[in-house]
Each structure stands twice: as C-alpha cells, then as structure tokens.
Structure 1
Amino acid sequence: MVRASIDYVQYLSDPPFVSGPAPGFAGGPPVNGVPVHPVPMKKGVPIPGAVPLRKLERRSGGRIVAGVAGGIADHLGIDVLKVRVAFTILAAMAGSGIVIYGALWIFTSAGTDTQKPSAAERQRAYGLIALGLGGAAALSWLFSGTAGSVLAPFFVVAIGAALVWREFDSDGPRTVIGLPQRPTVLTWARVVGGATLIILGLGVVVLAQVDLEALRSSLLAVVVTLIGVGLLTVPLWLRMWRALGAERAARIRNDEREEIASHLHDSVLQTLALIQKQSDNPQEVARLARGQERELRKWLFSGGDIDHTSLTEGLKIIAGEVEDQHGVTVRPVTVGDVQLEGEGVENGLPKEAFTALLGATREALVNSAKHSGEKEINLFAEVEGDQVSVFVRDRGVGFDVDAVPEDRQGLAKSIRGRIERRGGRVVVRSDIGKGTEIRVHMPLGDSALKWDQTADRVDNPEEQPQ
C-alpha cells in the first residue's frame, strides 16, 4: 500500500512524456524499419550506472518523528517529500498511514546518518502531519459519522505515544530504563508531556463510555487485582532484578579485565619483547626494566589518573615515547583538539573513551614501529563536529589482516576491542609491500558514529557496518 501510494505521488509529480517504450528500446517502435528485441542479461552481471538499493533503515540524525519516511526515501532513491505525502494520503484513509508508520517504526532498525533536517523541511513535515490527522478526522466524520469526541482522544494518545517512543528510540548510551544517559530538560519534557497526553486521551475515552459510579467500582476492582498480581509475582520480579544486577556486574568485570589485559599488553609485554632484543646489552635491559617498573607502579597506584587533558598533548607525549623506545620517527599532525570531559568542559571525551583512544593509538604506533620495517610513521588526528578520527600510517612491508595468528592480540584486543567497547570503530587497511593504515574513530558525546562511505567502504568493502 505504501509503495503504491508513493508510485502514485511520483507519477503526479513526474508524469511520463511518452506512452510505451521509447524508440530504440526493446518493445518500442522500430528504428529505420528494424525491430528492436530485448537482450537477455546474464545473472549476476551488474548494470553500468545502476544505483544499488540501500538497506531499509530509518533515518537517525535526519528524522522528524521516527525517520521512517526518510528511510524509505533513501531505500528507494526518491525525494523524501513524496514519501511523506504518501503517508499523509494513507493517514487520511481511516488512519491506515498512522498504523503503517507505527509498524515500520517498530520493525525497522535505525540507521547511522547524522545530517540534521533543515528548518524548511521540518515545517513541511509538520504541516503534512497536521494535514494527515485533519484529513483522517474529516473523512471519518463524513463517511462513518464518527464523532470528534472519539477521534480527538485517539489522536491525542497517538501523539503522546510518538513523543515517548521518540525519546526511548534516540541514539547514544542508555540508562537502565532506556532513556539517554544524559537526558536534557527537553527530553524529560517530551517524556512527561507524552505520558500526560496518553493518560488524558485514555481517560477521556473511559469517562465518555462509563458513568462515574460504575467507574469507581471498576477502578477499585482493577487496583485490587493489580495488588494481588503484584504480591504473587514479587519473587519473579526480585529474581529478574537480581539477574539484571548480576549480568551488569559480570559485564563490568569483563570490561575491567579487558582493560587490564590491554594495558599489560601495551606496557609489560612490549617491554619484555624489547628486553629480548637487547639481551646482549645489560645496561639497556636494566634501563628498560626500571622504566617499566616505574610506569607499572604509577598505573597501579594512581587510580588511572591522566596527566594530560588535551588530545593533542597526549598524542605528542605518546609519539615521543614510541620514538624513544623503538628508535623511529613519528610525525604527529592534529587538526582541532578535544579536552578530557570534566568540570567546565562541554562536548569533551569521557575518561574511558579518552584513555581508550590514546591507548589504541599507542599500540598502533608500536605495531608499525616493530613490524613495518620503516623508520618514519605518520600520525594524523582530526576533531570533527561529532567524532574524533586518528590515522596511523606507514609505508612498510604491510600484512594480510586475515592471516594474523590468533595468539597475536595487539590488533584484536589492544586496538579494536578497546575502541569498540567505547562505541568507536576501527578500520585496518594493509597491502603487502605498500604499507599499513589504521583508522580509529571515536564518537563525541552521545552522537552516533558517521560512516564515511567514500573512504572506508571503497578501501575496505569487508568493513561495512552491520
């Protein structure tokens, strides 16, 4: 039904100029007296210039309500206004568009786009929403005689549910109850306002159908029933709550274990590898051991405190340490800067994400210094509006990413694992004989990561988001 409505709207906005196939195409008029026959296409052979269909996903950053219309438009490759007009027409048909929109909202996953809609696009969308609701009310009253006292509460409940659903469906880290980890005043206003609209709408429907005396008895029966059900299910709720707490504690312990393993790999194991190479130089071995002892004691007893709060400063310190330990030249270049999140710092990186980004960058530099065979490594960092990107590049021997042994945990644990645990993404590009590039992306705040299709997907077709 949605597809048929979209086709009809597209037909009205882009009418065909000719009826039937054009001359020179299969089934069309002959050219110079010679008929044109269809040419069979081989299965699996791509058509030149054809645009592949995108996966059906709701828009995340560019949504007005839930991003359903935008996701359908992106999937079909058409203007989103046509899809919204189609939903408006369907909404006027006894509210079927509202039901279809809600079903697609529930059963379609959200995308990773971040582009916000313009003010003009929002105004057009809100106008179409009002037109659809008004059309549904008018047509229902004309054809079925449904009174406004019935339709108005239904629309109020639908609007309230949309407000609440939208906040629980937003991107970013979530709390236990499903709200954003750092809810704003506007978030709470939408949730409370939506819940109020739902209660008012349902209350009007109930009061219109039941007299007050019967309503009082019914409410008393419902309350008594709920109390009884609650008493019977107390053990079940307690068990579920304890299981949730145990699962959360296990997840925290596992994250801490992974962090400790990553740090030990980056520090102690790397130092032991250097000591093996310098086994014939007792003075160098002693220097490395003393330095590693000081670093390990500081990490164990400082509580994970960070000496620097600037990404640029931290990258320069890491580059200097790698140069001193491995005898290579690291050339850091930064565009923009971001601070460690704290008092007086807005839109900064949380401590966990900050340390993970620096730790993964250090491990990438160490891997290049040890395995690339090159004496010069390029380090580039860029702070964009919604994410931080770090690139580590060398022109060394390169390697086959799929052929890395399972016991080599540097790439899997110290780089990819520690970044993905904080909501980031790692892309590895390596060509044997041409060098290696490791891209680390970390989101800022509660924003979702932006997928750079023109860069990451072309270079790494296997590294596409799921």
Structure 2
Amino acid sequence: MAGVAGGLAQRLGVDPVVMRLAFVVLAFAGGAGVLLYILMWLLAPENDDAAPTRPSGTQHAAGVGFITAGALLVLRAVGLWFGDALVWPVAVAAFGSAVIYARGDVPHDAPWSRLMARFPSGLAETLGRASPLRLVAGAALIATSMAAFLAANDALAAARNVFLAVAAAATGLGLIAGPWAWRTGAQLAEERRERIRTSERAEIAAHLHDSVLQTLALIQRAGSPQEMVSLAHGQERELRAWLYGARSRSDQAMLGAAVESAATRIEQRHHVVVDVVVVGDRPLDQRLEALVSAATEAMTNAARHSGATTISVYVETTEEAVTAYVRDSGSGFVIDAVPRDRGGIAHSMNDRMARHGGTVAIASAPERGTDVELHLPVKER
C-alpha cells in the first residue's frame, strides 16, 4: 500500500511479488509482518527532491510511542513477557501520562527527523498544545488502564469483598466501642462543666472577699449610722453592678454607667445615700458628658447644703431628649436669694447645659427640699 515491499525488493534485487508474500506470511506470525511493514515505512528514506521537514515535539512523542508498541509486540512474540494482564495496562497508563505531561517544544534530534516527518503536522500541532482535550484523553487512558488491570486480575470482585469486610468490621467496632465512647464523652462533658462551676465559685469568692467582706468590716468600725448606711448602699450598688454586668457597660462609656459612677463618688465623699434609676441608655459623647457633669454638681450641692441623708437621681432617655432629675428632701432654699454669680449653679450647671443646647430648671423652697431638672435634646445626626 505504501510501496514498502516494492522498494525493499528493488533494494534487495528480488521479485516484488515474493517480498509481498513474505510480508503476508509474517503477518500471520503473531503480527510480526504488520509491525515490520510499519517500521520500514517509518524508517524508509525520503526522496532526494523532497524538502526536509523539521518534526515537532509531539511528532517525536508519537514516533516513540509507535516504536515502544512495536518493541512490546516483538518481546511478546519471542516470549520475553510478563503477561498481558500486567504489561498492556501499564503501557496504556504510561501513554496516557505522556499525553498529559508531554511537552511540545522539546529539542529536535536529527536521527528522528525523517521518522517524525511522516506524521501530519497539523494534527501534531493541535495535540501538542496543552488543552482540555489532552487532559481528558490522558485521564481516560489512565482510568481505562486501571480498570483493565483490576478486571484482568479479578481485583474488582476482591475490592467489593474488601469493602463489605471493612463495613462489617466498622459496624462491629461501633457496637463494641460505641457505648464506651458515649460514656467517655459524657464523663468529659461533666468534668468540663464541673471545672466551669469551680472557676465561677472561685471568682465569686474572690469578689466577695475583696468587696463585701471589706465593706462589712468598715461598717463594724463606722462611727455614725449615716456612715454605715452610706457604706452599705455603696456596696449594694457595686454588687448589683457586678451581678448584672454593669461593668461591661461602663467599659463601653455608657450614660447610665457614668451616672452610677458619679453617684458612687458622692456617696464615698459625703457619706450620703444616692439612689439612681436609669431608664434607657446611650453611648456617652461630649454633650452627654456635660449633662453628667451638671447632674454631678446637683448631687454635690444636695449632699453639701441640703442636710438630706438620701438623694434621688432619675435619668430618662428617649428618642427626642435625655432628662435627668436630682431630688432631695433637705432644707431647701430661696432661689431668688442665690447670687447670679454663684459658681455651682451659674457655671457648673446653667452655662454648661446652655453651651450644648440644654436647659436647667430648679424648684426649691425652705424646708421642702430641692428639685433640679436637666434637659438635653438629642442632636439629630
């Protein structure tokens, strides 16, 4: 078909018919005639007038593949063989790997030039580029070789049996070790809960020792009932803050925490009771700091001048405004009799609130106590 028999007969000086018959006979000898015909066609020299063609890297790979296949057929024919169940799957897997990883720009060697030029250059260039087609084809060849190897060696049936054996073993192991694992997990969880409870009890004991017990000791040594009440009330506020998480609010600089802190300072400094109620809360900013300062001044005035043992502070926060009320049931005073330049009222309260758009209203009368109202509209953002 390709003129190989005729060319060989001409070179050897025999009848072409005899050469063709020889190839036919060898074809029935394990395919040796066909393999020999293909190899001679690939290795036959080209015509002198043919332009030399430089093969590509993919053509190199294809040529090596054909030569390797031919060598395997020769080894199989002469008996140097490890068995079809091993060799052919390995060969197909190697070919698939070469399809995936072979480079198309390997250096060209002169001895391969005439051999590789026999293959179509267009197909070689297409397959030489890294493409999804090459990846799919190579992966399919590798998967086929693995399946063929397992099927030829009865490994698929063995794999099924192994899977069933592993599943049965896992089930048995679960039945044996499952209750033990469950009990162990429950014990570990109980130990963890006990450690948490122990840590909480230790924290409570430390806080009681550092605060409550110390305050009780101070109350025992207090010189007056008013001082005892002040200490007890301050400890009550601190304990409530610790129990209900007010400490976290103060860390975040909230209005309610700032008022509570100011009331605590007044109690410790003047030994009076300051009852604080805060409805609603807001993050503390510059305007609210002014309101807290004014409320602190009102509490200080009540503690110093009213003679009352209890001061009530009520702070209400709405969407429109923040209002603080400071009341005492002390001696009171005549508002018109207070000088205009009185620092506590003029500067600490009126001026501070006015600078931020707030107002101060004071109601007082002798022997009727004093009410101070601080009103600060919420500034729209």
- The question of a shared fold, defined as TM-score above 0.5 by the shorter chain, is answered with no
**TM-score w.r.t. length of structure 1:** 0.27
Structure with higher helix content = 2
